[in-house]
Amino acid sequence: MGGWMIRNTEYPEHMRGPKSKWNGKFVDERAAKAAATRMSKKRNEKWEAVYWEPKMVTKTNLLTGEEFQISEDTPLCCDPSSETYWSS
C-alpha cells in the first residue's frame, strides 16, 4: 500500500508523487531519487526520496457493524464508517 514519494526537506508535509501516475507513487526508489534531483534543481530547494507508508486505523462499518482497517487519510466519501459513503 505504501510507495515511493518525494518531499521537501525544509517542509516535510510537502510530499509529491508523479503527475503522470493515477496512484500518486513512483515505480521504484530510482525514479523517486531522479525526480527529487530534478525538483531540487528546478525549484532551488532540497527534495528527497522517501518510502511512505500510510497510517492504518480500525473503524466499524456503519451498515454491517464489522470492523475493518482503512488508511487514515481516506476521504469520507470512500469510508464505509461514514454516512456520506452510504448516502451517495
Assess whether pLDDT exceeds 70 at residue 34. yes
Greater pLDDT, 52 or 21: 52
63 and 48 co-located in one domain = no
Over residues 47-68, the mean pLDDT reads 92
% of the chain residues with pLDDT over 70: 91
| Separation of alpha carbons 86 and 48, rounded Å | 39
30 and 15 co-located in one domain = yes
Over residues 26-38, the mean pLDDT reads 90
37 and 62 co-located in one domain = no
At 19, the pLDDT band (50, 70, 90 cuts) reads low
10 and 45 co-located in one domain = yes
Domain assignment of residue 75, given as a range: 56-87
In the chain, the number of structural domains is 2
3-state secondary structure 51-71: EECCCEEEEECCCCCCEEEEE
Least confident of 2-6, 18-22, 34-38, 63-67: 18-22
